[in-house]
Amino acid sequence: MPELPEVEVSRLGISPHLIGQRVQGIIVRQAKLRWAIPGEVQYAVGREIRDVRRRAKYLLLDTEVGSLILHLGMSGSLRVVDINTPVQKHDHVDIQLNNGKCLRFNDPRRFGACLWQAAGDSPIELLERLGPEPLTDAFDGRRLYELSRNKKVAVKNFIMDNHIVVGVGNIYASESLFMAGIDPVKAAGRLNRGAYEKLAEAIKQVLAQAIQQGGTTLKDFTQADGNPGYFAQELQVYGRAGEPCRVCESPVQSLTIGQRNSFYCKKCQR
């Protein structure tokens, strides 16, 4: 599943091709995605795309009358192609531009989304209750510490809660906890302020590094230019069960936390 760095890499890839262009047409070949694509998306036709923003894992294409909201789901990808480029299987939506290009949304599993947010309206429910962005000053160790008091949930699940902080998915949660030296199954309420300061900084570093290197290589993810990300070769624990820890050479362990595969080093993480 594309995580925050992959979505941010997609934003960076498509933005130069979209900002300042006018939407010439929107072709919906398959309206039944995670949620049915509303007819209101056509309000963007004839409007200039003024900005391409990201909120959590959602991309917002802003026009004067509202925003097209895109979510990649589990297997979605975005490509900027010529309008006359032959359509491939699972190419569900084309956002055609006046420069002869189109933003093409491909989603084999159809867990993605294409929605509409009218200008001036309250944020749609999906966006309204989200926590802060992890790479901003609004997110820090103090916030994690204060919200974690008396929480018995595993710290890994705690930092993956989008009400606490957005965009810390399974891969990067494992990597951040390893960098901070924290056992992923430890109850969130048992960590002290210092541990959360280290964890918040680790989350920022891991996500920033992933974005810089182009997003993690996942079989379902490609950048807007069609090239895969390259962060996978830098992963310290995720997907490396049984392999030696890069720090202490103990075998990397795996277990299931909250129905997700988790990876950690028993010796380095306490």
Identify whether 3 is a catalytic site residue: yes
Q: Which of 3, 6, 8, 175 is catalytic?
A: 3
Tell me whether residue 57 is one of the annotated catalytic residues: yes
Catalytic residue among 53, 55, 260, 267, which? Answer: 260
Candidates 6, 11, 54, 57; catalytic one: 57
- 109 a known binding residue? yes
b/e sequence 162-172, b meaning 16+ C-beta within 10 Å = eebbbbbbbbb
151 is in an annotated binding site: yes
Which residues participate in the annotated binding site for DNA? 90, 109, 151
Catalytic positions, written as ranges: 2-3, 57, 260
